[in-house]
């Protein structure tokens, strides 16, 4: 009987040593059956940098601030090629985090239809910015938009191809080509009708995931008109 117990103990010890040896070999997945944590899925594929022509905006709806002959920032909008971008969680907007940027933001990223620019920035952050928070925290998000605005001055880019806010009509293709010449990639153009006049309202540049490089924008239907006007004044004044 003692011999039987001894043999059983020896067999048990041998099996334990064998399993330990297997764990140190190429078969170690047998010993580590728990799935490895996967990196979180990306919430977006690229980022739109949207700029709006103030005089078009204010010809289409009442504005609370004087419109100037400039493109101002509308937003940085994370987007996806094949799905709707939804971001339901993230940090709340904290105004003091961008206190050093406020003076520039008031000039380059004003709300034309609200008195309070801070509320406008809050909405942009909580609607769009939180999607890219892992790459662009709040301060970096607003700072990136300001730097992009400075780097890609659309008024100057269009002027290089003799496109001005003069009351003249320009082809959508000519506007697109002017921007592609300057940036290397096609933008998206948005237009809206004032009565029967198609106005250039927004230009979208597309950025890579990290908002560091301009990329080609996907095809869009933001403008169905081929001839556009860039207004130089309000029509009802």
User: What are the phi and psi torsion angles at 39 (to 5°)?
Assistant: -65, 150
User: Which among 208, 204, 74, 81 has a CA at the least distance from the CA of 132?
Assistant: 208
- Helix then strand then coil, in percent of the chain rounded to 5, is 40, 20, 45
Pairing of strands 214-215, 197-207: antiparallel
Structure tokens at 78: 């994370």
Catalytic residue among 26, 74, 133, 156: 74
Verify whether residue 128 is a known catalytic residue.
yes
User: Which among 7, 27, 93, 59 has a CA at the least distance from the CA of 198?
Assistant: 59
Residue in the structure block whose two tokens are 């690229």: 46
Catalytic residue among 17, 92, 114, 128: 128
Cα–Cα dist 90/95, whole Å = 15
Verify whether residue 185 is a known catalytic residue.
no
Catalytic residue among 92, 114, 124, 196: 124
Verify whether residue 124 is a known catalytic residue.
yes
Active-site residue set: 74, 124, 128
């Amino acid at each position: 009987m003692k011999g039987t117990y001894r043999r059983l103990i020896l067999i048990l010890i041998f099996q334990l040593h064998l399993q330990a040896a297997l764990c140190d070999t190429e078969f170690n997945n047998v010993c580590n059956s728990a799935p490895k944590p996967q990196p979180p899925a990306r919430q977006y594929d690229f980022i739109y940098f949207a700029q709006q022509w103030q005089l078009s905006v204010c010809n289409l709806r009442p504005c609370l601030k004087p419109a100037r002959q400039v493109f101002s920032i509308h937003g940085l909008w994370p987007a996806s090629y094949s799905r709707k971008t939804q971001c339901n969680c993230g940090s709340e907007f904290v105004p003091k985090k961008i206190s050093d940027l406020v003076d520039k933001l008031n000039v380059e990223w004003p709300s034309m239809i609200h008195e309070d620019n801070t509320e406008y920035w809050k909405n942009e952050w909580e609607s769009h910015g939180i999607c890219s928070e892992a790459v662009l925290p709040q301060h970096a998000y607003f700072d990136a938009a300001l730097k992009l605005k400075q780097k890609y001055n659309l008024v100057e880019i269009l002027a290089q191809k003799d496109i001005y806010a003069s009351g003249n009509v320009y082809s959508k293709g000519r506007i697109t080509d002017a921007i592609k010449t300057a940036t290397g990639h096609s933008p998206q153009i948005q237009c809206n009708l004032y009565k029967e006049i198609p106005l250039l309202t927004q230009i979208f540049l597309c950025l890579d995931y990290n908002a560091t490089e301009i990329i080609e924008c996907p095809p869009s239907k933001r403008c169905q008109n081929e001839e556009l006007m860039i207004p130089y004044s309000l029509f009802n004044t």
